[in-house]
């Protein structure tokens, strides 16, 4: 069973990537969040892998963080949710948003994901309400947003970092530093600079 892969990114598609590992190309299905966090072709990439084996196929599902993989495994443990639908769930909502929706039994939000109906949403809330606390404990108090910062951009940047596996408070501190003195910085640049700050720690 493959647990993780490290290699050169060969190609990116709408819902998968090909990673060159020692001359072998591995096609890995990934959620949108992971796809957006991966650099361009030729760059080094590491993905946490779930190897899904069926009688007629072997498929790889990859994630940028252990947190995403853990939530994916919880999702496919629910009757009626297979790997492809679980991937769609993680593409439709960030891990943070998904966990919040499950904790609050927000069926309408879950039903906004293509392929998730009322019965499946109710089953997700029932079966995962306690389990999600094991992978993502209740959050600590949030850090104040910088004065003049756009709430939408700031929140989206923090959410993106949390979705990549960073603790919320750590993500907020990094976004605050990256946005300091530049309240109108574009979201893409803000996330890049915040990630750069976190990688230097």
CATH number at residue 172: 1.10.8.10
Which CATH number belongs to the domain containing residue 57 in this structure? 2.40.50.140
Tell me the residue range of the domain where 156 lies.
151-199
Q: Which among 85, 109, 135 is the end of a domain?
A: 135
What pLDDT, on the 0 to 100 scale, is given for residue 2? Answer: 83
- Asked if residue 141 belongs to a domain, the reply is no
Q: How far apart, in whole angstroms, are the C-alpha atoms of residue 88 and residue 66?
A: 18
- Asked if residue 78 belongs to a domain, the reply is yes
> 104 - beta bridge partners?
none
Flag whether the pTM goes above 0.85.
Answer: no
What pLDDT, on the 0 to 100 scale, is given for residue 142? Answer: 47
Same domain membership, residue 46 and residue 29: yes
Q: How far apart, in whole angstroms, are the C-alpha atoms of residue 27 and residue 57?
A: 13
Q: How far apart, in whole angstroms, are the C-alpha atoms of residue 91 and residue 36?
A: 11
State the DSSP H helix or E strand holding residue 16, giving kind and residue range, or none if neither: strand 16-21
| Residues of the chain scoring pLDDT < 50 | 140-142
For the segment 62-93, what is each residue's pLDDT rounded down to a tens digit?
998 888 999 999 999 998 899 999 999 999 98
């Amino acid at each position: 069973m493959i647990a993780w892969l490290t290699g050169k990114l060969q190609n990116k598609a709408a819902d998968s990537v090909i990673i060159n590992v020692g001359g072998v190309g591995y096609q890995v299905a990934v959620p949108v969040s992971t796809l957006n966090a991966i650099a361009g072709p030729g760059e080094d990439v590491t993905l946490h892998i779930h190897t899904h084996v069926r009688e007629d196929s072997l498929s790889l599902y990859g994630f940028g963080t252990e947190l995403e993989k853990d939530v994916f495994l919880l999702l496919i443990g629910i009757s009626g949710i297979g790997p492809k639908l679980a991937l769609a769930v993680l593409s439709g909502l960030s891990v943070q948003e998904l966990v919040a929706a499950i904790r609050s039994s927000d069926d309408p939000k879950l039903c906004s994901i293509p392929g998730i109906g009322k019965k499946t949403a109710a089953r997700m809330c029932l079966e995962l309400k306690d389990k999600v606390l094991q992978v993502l404990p209740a959050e600590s108090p949030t850090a104040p947003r910088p004065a003049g910062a756009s709430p939408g951009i700031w929140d989206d940047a923090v959410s993106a970092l949390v979705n990549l596996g960073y603790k919320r408070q750590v993500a907020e501190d990094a976004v605050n530093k990256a946005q300091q003195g530049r309240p109108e910085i574009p979201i893409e640049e803000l996330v890049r600079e915040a990630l750069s700050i976190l990688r230097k720690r």
